[in-house]
Amino acid sequence: KTLADRHITQSMSRKGNCLDNSMMENFFGLMKNELLYLQEWDSIDQFKKALRTYIRYYNNDRIKLRLKGKSPVQYRALFQSKAS
């Protein structure tokens, strides 16, 4: 289906300006270096599984300096414990 069929509005940054979308540019750069450039897959299904695993790792377990060296899950737990 097309984006319009799913009621999704496509957003484009200004041409040649990676700073407009720096968070996604950073994510894709990390993903390329930590996943794509390190291995080859025999099928698209293997790639999709590896990609899902990487995204889960990135969102939950990967240590981030801006989170004081904690994973997102650890930082969220620390924040919630201080808030209660």
Residue 13 above 80 pLDDT? Answer: no
50 and 27 in a common domain: no
Indicate if 11 and 32 belong to the same structural domain.
Answer: yes
The maximal CA–CA distance of the chain, rounded, in angstroms, is: 49
pLDDT band at 18 (very low <50, low <70, confident <90, very high): low
Per the structure, how many domains does the chain have?
Answer: 2
The reply to whether the predicted model has a pTM over 0.85 is no
Q: What percent of the chain has pLDDT over 70?
A: 96
Averaged pLDDT for residues 27-38: 94
Q: What's the first-to-final CA gap in the chain, in angstroms?
A: 45
- Condensed to tens digits (0 to 9), the pLDDT of residues 37-67 reads 999 999 999 999 999 999 999 988 888 888 8
What per-residue confidence (pLDDT) applies to 42?
Answer: 97
- Could you list the residue range(s) of the whole structural domain that residue 74 is in? 40-84
Backbone φ, ψ for residue 46 (5° rounding): -65, -40
Residue 7 zone, left/alpha/beta (φ > 0; ψ -120 to 50; rest): left
